A and B are shown apart, each in its own frame.
Chain A
Amino acid sequence: MKKIEVKECTFSYDNTRNAVDAISFSVEEGSYTTLIGHNGSGKSTIAKLLIGLLEMKSGEIIIDGLTLNQENLYTIRDKVGIVFQNPDNQFIGATVADDIAFGLENHLVESSQMNTIIEKYAKSVNMQDYLDREPTRLSGGQKQRVAIAGVLAMNPQILIFDEATSMLDPQGKAEINALIHQLNQEKKMTILSITHDIEEAALSDHVIVLDQGHVVMEGTPEEVLCHEKELLDLKLDIPFSLKIANEFEKQGVKLKKKITLEGLVNEICQLK
């Protein structure tokens, strides 16, 4: 079933150039989809259109069977949680607990229930020991995890990550990527992750490549990420394992294309 459906959607910031140009794509329920493209390709604009932070010029967006319009806007926002890029721009509360509580307060959750909910979701991102901490005493990765907890507390069905790891150090990146996987695998949440990290895209089920507000390629990571020339032309990159496979080919040995290092090394072992 399609959880997100975007049909011929167009948006322009200045009416001279379309940041998103008659784009169509869909995200399957329970999938982990990545949307990749260079800086300025329209990725973040799409994220904002999906939750109605920007209003499209033409086209249609259907989320969980509901058409995005003025009437459905708040119902749809209850279904879709979004985590943005900058950990410092989305920490609102004075402490971790306050921050997770922010959305709950807006939804008029009884304060007697709130602590239980806060603890539950702090635990789900492994931040239960930090509830009284102030944001300045947290690392970037920890702040992003709190942001995720705040979003999870709203009980969404779909999570959008808009370059949520790009400002984090490698440790923070690994933490968040592991959490995204867990939410997808264990909680069966539909994930749409916007990124230009190719190794991250290699871990997803479905990859959509954007350029100038269009979809230019789409498929499983295996299908999409091996198109070296196209990806480099799009200011992106190919997974490191493919670079090695290409070198093998140059030195006269053809290997099956694998997009993870583990897969590649297994292929190399077959050579013996």
Chain B
Amino acid sequence: MPIEIINLSHEYNAKTPLAKVALCDINVKISDGEMIALIGETGSGKSTLVQHLNALLLPTEGKIQIGDQIIEANVKSHGLKQLRKKVGLVFQFPEYQLFEETILKDIAFGPKNFGVSAEEAEQKAREMIKIVGLDENYLEKSPFECSGGERRRIAIAGILAMGPDILVLDEPTAGLDPKGAKDMMDLFKRINEDFHKTVLIVSHDMEQVMTYCQRVIVMNHGKIIEDCNVHEFFQSSDLLKQLHINPPALLQFKDLCKEKGIEISKDALSIEECVREILKGVKR
């Protein structure tokens, strides 16, 4: 299900003295099966934009087309419930939203809400718990017995159970230990590659963006200021520094080398390539 956002703006508290423009003239196309990172400083409009993708917020100007559905400013939209089923939104710290007695009930809650029969919803829960890397024994446990990382997986299983085509995740690895974060990112990659779902990740972690995503969309003050391929994006750390975003360690390393007069070409985007270039320079 492709997404096209056309001249979209969003103003909070429009027509009041508290009006604040959060998004300004956004244009983006997202094709099926992409894995995209949405980055930018805190307050740059990332969350506001993401909430438009399943109509939790409606544009105050412009429009957004998701599959066949068009949501336009000042036009009453129908079928938003169907849309919300197709775009799964995982908020930050989704584990805080678990509430049911058992994990089975918690995962089945979403699909049931969308009108699926109880049996079918439970069936979904059984499938999804495995996809997020936990086994079926968990289903009868209380979500509150589980560790933070496990709870987060359960929350994500609950979103997947609704069968979305597009998965949008707001900082999905915040607070996890390095292994937990890596497992989580591997899971999204698998959801993207094996289940052909479009994945959009809001992230502050540039190592992850560099390793897992193909495309980067950068927001600043409510506007999209860059939208390009990951390799192009990480050729220099200048833009990142302007945006107060920590460059990935590899770029920091390259910058430090440069200060000391060791030049590494912009195309070297792995540790291996960088080291090879440095050694070539030394031997010469």
Smallest CB-CB separation from B152: which chain A residue?
A39
| A271, B284: Cα distance in complex, Å | 12
> Contact: A269 with B262, CB < 8 Å?
yes
In the complex, which residues of chain A have a beta carbon less than 8 angstroms from the beta carbon of B256?
261-262, 265
| A240, B211: Cα distance in complex, Å | 14
| A167, B42: Cα distance in complex, Å | 12
Smallest CB-CB separation from B275: which chain A residue?
A247
| A235, B176: Cα distance in complex, Å | 10
> Contact: B175 with A244, CB < 8 Å?
no
Chain A: interface residue count, which band?
A: 35 or more
Q: Which of B270-284 contact A (CB under 8 A)?
A: 271-272, 274-276, 278-279, 282
Q: Name the distance in Å between B104's Cβ and chain A's nearest Cβ.
A: 22
Chain B: interface residue count, which band?
A: 20 to 34
User: Quick check: is B78 within 8 A (CB to CB) of the other chain?
Assistant: no
Can you list, as one digit per residue, whether each of B39-76 has a CB less than 8 Å from chain A (1) or not (0)? Answer: 00111000000000000000000000000000000000
| A268, B180: Cα distance in complex, Å | 32
Q: Which of A129-174 contact B (CB under 8 A)?
A: 139-140, 163, 166-167, 169-172, 174
In the complex, which residues of chain B have a beta carbon less than 8 angstroms from the beta carbon of A171?
41-42, 244
- Tell me which of B41, B178, B272, B276 contacts A169 (CB under 8 A): B41
Question: Taking each of B43, B148, B249, which has the highest tally of chain A beta carbons within 10 Å of its own beta carbon?
Answer: B249
| A235, B177: Cα distance in complex, Å | 7
User: Quick check: is B105 within 8 A (CB to CB) of the other chain?
Assistant: no
> Contact: B177 with A196, CB < 8 Å?
yes
| A253, B178: Cα distance in complex, Å | 28
| A240, B272: Cα distance in complex, Å | 13
> Interface of chain B, helix or strand or loop or mixed?
helix
User: Quick check: is B14 within 8 A (CB to CB) of the other chain?
Assistant: no
Can you list, as one digit per residue, whether each of A172-203 has a CB less than 8 Å from chain B (1) or not (0)? Answer: 10100000000000000000000010110000
User: Quick check: is B10 within 8 A (CB to CB) of the other chain?
Assistant: no
In the complex, which residues of chain B have a beta carbon less than 8 angstroms from the beta carbon of A261?
249, 252-253, 256
User: Quick check: is A236 within 8 A (CB to CB) of the other chain?
Assistant: yes
Q: Which of B226-254 contact A (CB under 8 A)?
A: 244-246, 249-250, 252-253
Smallest CB-CB separation from A260: which chain B residue?
B256
Smallest CB-CB separation from A173: which chain B residue?
B246
User: Quick check: is A107 within 8 A (CB to CB) of the other chain?
Assistant: no
User: Quick check: is B29 within 8 A (CB to CB) of the other chain?
Assistant: no
In the complex, which residues of chain A have a beta carbon less than 8 angstroms from the beta carbon of B42?
139-140, 169, 171-172
Q: Which of B142-177 contact A (CB under 8 A)?
A: 147-149, 174-177
> Contact: B249 with A39, CB < 8 Å?
no
Q: Which of A94-124 contact B (CB under 8 A)?
A: none
User: Quick check: is A74 within 8 A (CB to CB) of the other chain?
Assistant: no
> Contact: B148 with A39, CB < 8 Å?
yes
**Given A39-B149, A244-B253, also A235-B179 (CB < 8 A):** yes
| A1, B175: Cα distance in complex, Å | 33
What 20 additional pairs, Cβ within 8 angstroms, besides A170-B244, A232-B179, A265-B257?
A38-B180, A39-B149, A139-B43, A166-B174, A167-B93, A169-B42, A170-B204, A171-B41, A171-B42, A196-B178, A199-B249, A236-B177, A237-B179, A240-B249, A241-B253, A243-B271, A244-B253, A244-B274, A244-B275, A265-B262
The 8 closest A-B pairs by CB, nearest first: A235-B179, A240-B249, A237-B178, A170-B246, A38-B177, A196-B177, A247-B275, A265-B256
10 interchain pairs, CB-CB under 8 A? A38-B177, A139-B42, A166-B174, A170-B204, A170-B245, A196-B177, A196-B178, A243-B271, A244-B274, A261-B253
Interface residues of A (CB under 8 A from B): 37-40, 85, 139-140, 163, 166-167, 169-172, 174, 196, 198-199, 232, 235-237, 240-241, 243-244, 247-248, 251-253, 261-262, 264-266, 268-269, 271-272
